[in-house]
Structure 1
Amino acid sequence: MTIPLPPHPTGLPYHRMGHSTGRHSWWRPVLGTLLALGAYAVLNLLLFALSYGFGAAAGLRELPDGGYDFGTAVNTALDLTFIAIALPVILLAVWWPGRRPPGTLSSVAGRLRWRWLVRCLLVAVLPVTVLAVSAFLLPDGGGDSGESDVWVGWRSFLVSLVLLAVFVPVQAAAEEYVFRGWLTQAVGAFFRSPWFAVIPQAVLFAAAHGWGTTWGFTGLLVFGGVCGWLTIRTGGLEAAVALHALSNLLAFGVAAAFVDGLSSDETAADAPWQLALVDVGTTVIYAALVLWLARRHHPQRLSPPVSGPAPWPAPHLQPQGATTLKVPPGHAGSDVPPSPWP
């Protein structure tokens, strides 16, 4: 007698979470992407209109890009907000038309795993600190010297730090939920291989930062690829969010210490080759630390199994002489953490 297997008896890896509800159709990730892009563009226009109206009413100085100068710290917070609004937009795309819980974008557990996030933040301190020190010590790593290195003053610095502490983590999380989250799962809806899900989002992530230098673009490409790999390997976005948020906080915090530091248009895409190499090295170090941490704490890597119409037979109901199947690593009932990677 042949007993049909229930659908997804061992759960799904992160990049295949679009199939977790059994409502997957090929058009859902396509429509969700188009709607998210449209909603994001509309919200950006509304935010720009509001800021423009407030600036005009307050009689502020107009900037070359058409906006108004609210001050360096507020301008930076506004720029971060333009990115951060992608977070609620992409969560809405998961809920509709994705027709699944928005938490499935956070992890295979259907929620953000806060303890695992904190652990990843702690192990990110070392590589991010190494990168920050290198930015000052390496030739051309700390930017141009001269007037741009004038101390901004404690009052302005502390005000900037408060604003950055509020806005940067949300901005970094928004980028992770879009690239390592939505795009990874959207491509994963069509391909089982995790590599097909990781590579496109890494390329788009690097391209979204602009083309500065070849080395800077390569560093962003490696960052996106490693974070995508960690996302699938650990079953959620926590590791990627931790590194991204801490890196951005440190970079913006250092820039806030100097006059006009936050006004610079340079991004990680403009990094010189020396700093880009250190960035790649620290990203790899962080990945190794996260893997070591995962072996100690075993974060959930697969979604909970989805029961089907024909469950497995109970042991006492199996036919006499039937062979007992051993559960391989990564399957339901196994104590060995699964891996979706071949």
Structure 2
Amino acid sequence: MLKGAVLWFLILGMLTLIFYLINPASYELTFNPSTFGMLLILSLITFPIQASFEEVFFRGYLMQGVGLLSKKPIVPLLATSFLFGIGHIMNGTGMTLSVFPLIETVIIGIALGIITLGEDGIETAIGIHVMNNLYAVLIVSTPDGIFGNLPSIMMTSSSPSGDILTTAAAAVIAVVIIFWNKKDKLRDIFRWEDAEPN
């Protein structure tokens, strides 16, 4: 879990720095020490429980259940990622914006599913999921997100489509790093012949 959390933090931090250097006007320092402490405490209590539950349900039970029916790893991967996205469709402030969180969440769901199938475990996925939520609330939040204006360290006004590109880039980087010397694990996930379920 620590591996996933640290990796995801470094990837998001690197991407945030790159986008800040490209367009510093889209970021605003909003750190408020009098309110940040309470936000930090609540986040550290809430998100590990919430993210762990979602990973156990979607990448644990549900992915294995669909895998028993399909026998092909790609089917539970896509099915659970789409259902994961549907579960987060209201993470925007309006129905138009809700489409973008859906796409973002499906992308993250696919990455977490690939990691879970490739490592045959959900620990790294839990770490990434927890850190993703902590980063979005504590480090860089957006006024259009489900939580609205938060006393996070920074606020960004980047476009929803830009957020999707950031999420996709982070997901690809994470998968490449994790499976850098284990490419055979990735090939097993995307094979089409019948496979034994995990």
In the superposition, the TM-score normalised over structure 2's length comes to 0.71
**Counterparts of 2:186 and 2:21 in 1: how far apart (Å)?**
41
Aligned to 2:4: 120
Q: Distance in 2 between matches of 1:216 and 1:271?
A: 12
Size of the aligned set, in residue pairs, is 172
- Distance in 1 separating the partners of 2:138 and 2:19: 13
* Paired position in structure 2 for 1:222: 107
Question: How does 1:1-342 map onto structure 2 within 5 Å?
Answer: 117-133=1-17, 151=30, 153-210=32-89, 212=97, 214-254=99-139, 261-262=149-150, 272-292=160-180, 295=182, 340-341=188-189, 342=191
Matched residue SS, 1:193: coil
Query: Per the alignment, in what secondary structure is the counterpart of residue 113 of structure 2?
Result: helix
* 172 and 137 in structure 1: CA distance in 2 versus 1, 3 angstrom threshold: farther
* 1:287 to 1:187, Cα distance in 2 relative to 1, 3 A: same
Cα distance in structure 2, aligned partners of 1:122 and 1:152:
22
More helix by share: 2
Q: Identity over the aligned pairs, expressed in percent? A: 22
In structure 1, the gaps of 5 or more residues are 1-116, 144-148, 264-269, 296-335
User: What secondary structure sits across from 1:261 in the alignment?
Assistant: coil
Distance verdict in 2 for CA 1:213–1:241, change over 3 Å: same
Instruction: Tell me what 2:154 maps to.
Output: none
Gaps of 5+ in 2: 90-94, 152-157, 192-198
Q: Structure 1 residues 229, 272: closer, same or farther in 2, change over 3 A?
A: same
Say which is worse superposed, 241-250 or 210-219, in terms of deviation: 210-219
Aligned in 2, Cα 1:228/1:150: closer, same or farther, shift over 3 Å?
closer
Cα distance in structure 2, aligned partners of 1:195 and 1:337 = 13
CA distance in 1, matches of 2:159, 2:80: 21
Q: CA RMSD in A?
A: 3.4
Distance 2:19 2:185 in 1: 37
Take 1:226 and 1:205, find their aligned partners in 2: how far apart are those partners?
12
Cα drift, residue 203 of structure 1: 0.6
The aligned amino acid for 1:274 is G
Q: 1 CA distance for matches of 2:3 and 2:115?
A: 14
| Helix, strand or coil at the partner of 1:190 | helix
Quick one: distance in 2 between partners of 1:239 and 1:191? 24
Larger strand proportion, structure 1 or 2? 2
Aligned to 1:306: none
Relative to 1, partners in 2 of residues 1:121 and 1:176: Cα closer, same or farther, differing over 3 Å? same
CA contact (8 A) 1:219 1:279 kept: yes
Letter aligned with residue 102 of structure 2:
F
C-alpha deviation, 1:234, in angstroms: 0.4
Q: Is the 8 A contact 1:213 1:272 kept in 2?
A: no
Q: TM-score w.r.t. structure 1 length?
A: 0.44
Deviations 1:62-95 (A, max 9, x none): xxxxxxxxxxxxxxxxxxxxxxxxxxxxxxxxxx
Change (3 A) 1:192 1:237: same
Summarize the Cα distance change of 1:152–1:234 in structure 2 as closer, same or farther, 3 Å threshold: closer
Higher RCO by CA contacts (8 Å cutoff, separation 6 or greater): 2
- Checking the alignment, whether the CA contact within 8 Å between 1:215 and 1:271 is kept in structure 2 is no
For 1:131 and 1:338, locate their aligned partners in 2 and report how far apart those are by CA, in whole Å: 24
Whether the 8 Å contact between 2:107 and 2:167 is mirrored in structure 1 is no
Contact persistence 1:132–1:250 (CA under 8 A)? no
Distance 1:277 1:137 in 2: 17
Tell me: CA distance 1:262–1:237, structure 2 relative to 1, closer, same or farther (3 Å): same
